[in-house]
Amino acid sequence: MRFIDACNRRPVDKTPVWFMRQAGRSLPEYRRLRESNDILQAIKNPEIAYEITMQPVRRHKVDAAILFSDIIVPLAALDPTMTIVPGKGPVISKPFRSSSDLSRLRQLEPTEDIPYVIETVKELAKSPVPLIGFAGAPFTLASYLIEGGPSRDHRNTKALMAQDPVLFEKLLDILAGITLTFLKTQIDAGAQAIQLFDSWVGTLSEYHYRKHILRTTQAILGAIEVPTIHYSLGTSHLLSAIVETQPSVLSLDWRVPLLRTRSDFGDRFAIQGNLDPTILLAPSQIINKEVNRTLEEAGTAPGYIFNLGHGVLPETDPQVLTNIVEWVHEYGLSGDSLSGDSLSGESSSPVPSGCSDGS
């Protein structure tokens, strides 16, 4: 399986590719299935969750499926006031602010709390395409609990961390237990790799990352026996600390230069990323140029997985994703200079058949 081989830095026949948030709102077949179900209902229904997981695999021929679920699923199983508001994100009616709130949390009992996850993963594991399980990392989960919803600057989370580090550590420890159980549940049911989403940890300084986060993330990733992918956004300043968490794969966003990271860390980790998802809203020539530049920076050494730097935006034309998969498979390991213009001089890159304007 080329995705798993790339995670393990083994040679592959073609560059593997999948997209974060590939299962979702850019697909009309997803929107149709979701019409009469809210997202948590869809996740709790194994038949629907199976179908939504497989939709992008069939349509785009990506090299991995990612379970249709959400990072807040285990928290919503413990606290029914946690919901996902369309167009906004996870929301909890009574945010966590004091030690008395700790009693609202407990460890997950997978067969009772999330039986639908086990059932969906077991079915998906029968498919020939590898399945990625996932979870939110403790800091990112804590930020939703403490803020009460999405936040630009995570002010309440950081204030609590500074004012009451003991309470903050207790909360992170409980969440680490939940995260690890959620991941192990998916692995036991058949997930072949996992991705840990620490989406919002880039808001911290390296000092605070090392003080509060590093050890916990190290412990979670260290307890997993399948390939692990560490995802974070806007963390150029934290990279030297994040690599100490020892994932199999580092997933990077577009702010981090792929070329330099591959040369700095490529002999220790596989790298995943890092195309800016907003580029997919641009005309096809721009997309081609940026895909080619990404492939060129990634180079041909083993241990590279093509992906975006963050999730697919809902406005994305799904045909663009299908074309990118085809293009990456065809040219990812060619080793030729794909985009003369992007790294040096004028473009000589052919436009992939399906990527030309108007198609």
Catalytic residues: 21, 25, 34, 70, 144
CB atoms within 10 A of CB 111: 9
Distance (Å, whole) CA 359 – CA 354: 6
Taking the least distance from each CB to ligand CP3, the nearer of 87 and 358 is 87
User: Which residues neighbour 312 within 8 Å (Cβ) at sequence distance 6 or greater?
Assistant: 19, 20, 21, 22, 24, 26, 277, 280, 321
Distance (Å, whole) CA 290 – CA 339: 9
Smallest distance from ligand CP3 to CB 233, Å: 6
Distance (Å, whole) CA 88 – CA 54: 25
Give SS3 for 103: helix
CA angle 11, 17, 20 (to 5 degrees): 135
Given 2, 9, 25, 230, the residue binding ligand CP3 (CB under 6 A): 25
Given 12, 17, 27, 39, the residue binding ligand CP3 (CB under 6 A): 39
The position carrying tokens 């806007």 is 234
Taking the least distance from each CB to ligand CP3, the nearer of 234 and 340 is 234
- Segment 180 to 209, residues that bind ligand CP3, using CB under 6 A: 197, 199
Taking the least distance from each CB to ligand CP3, the nearer of 89 and 335 is 89
Smallest CA-to-CA distance from 161 within 205, 128, 117 is with 205
The yes or no reply on residue 290 touching ligand CP3 (CB under 6 A) is no
Taking the least distance from each CB to ligand CP3, the nearer of 4 and 71 is 71
The yes or no reply on residue 309 touching ligand CP3 (CB under 6 A) is no
Distance (Å, whole) CA 218 – CA 229: 12
Q: Which residues pair with 270 in a beta bridge?
A: 249
Distance (Å, whole) CA 29 – CA 340: 38
Given 47, 61, 81, 89, the residue binding ligand CP3 (CB under 6 A): 89
Residue 186 contacts residue 230 (beta carbons within 8 Å) = no
Given 86, 128, 283, 358, the residue binding ligand CP3 (CB under 6 A): 86
Provide the angle, in degrees to the nearest 10, between the axes of the packed helices 318-331 and 284-298: 40
Smallest distance from ligand CP3 to CB 190, Å: 16
- Contact window for ligand CP3 (CB under 6 A) among 23-31, 265-273, 292-300, 326-334: 23-31
Q: Using CB under 6 A as the criterion, what x/- string covers residues 52-81 for binding ligand CP3?
A: --------------x-xxxx----------
Given 5, 9, 15, 24, the residue binding ligand CP3 (CB under 6 A): 24
The yes or no reply on residue 120 touching ligand CP3 (CB under 6 A) is no
The yes or no reply on residue 250 touching ligand CP3 (CB under 6 A) is no
Residue ranges in contact with ligand CP3 by CB under 6 A:
20-25, 34, 39, 66, 68-71, 84, 86-90, 134, 150, 197, 199, 311
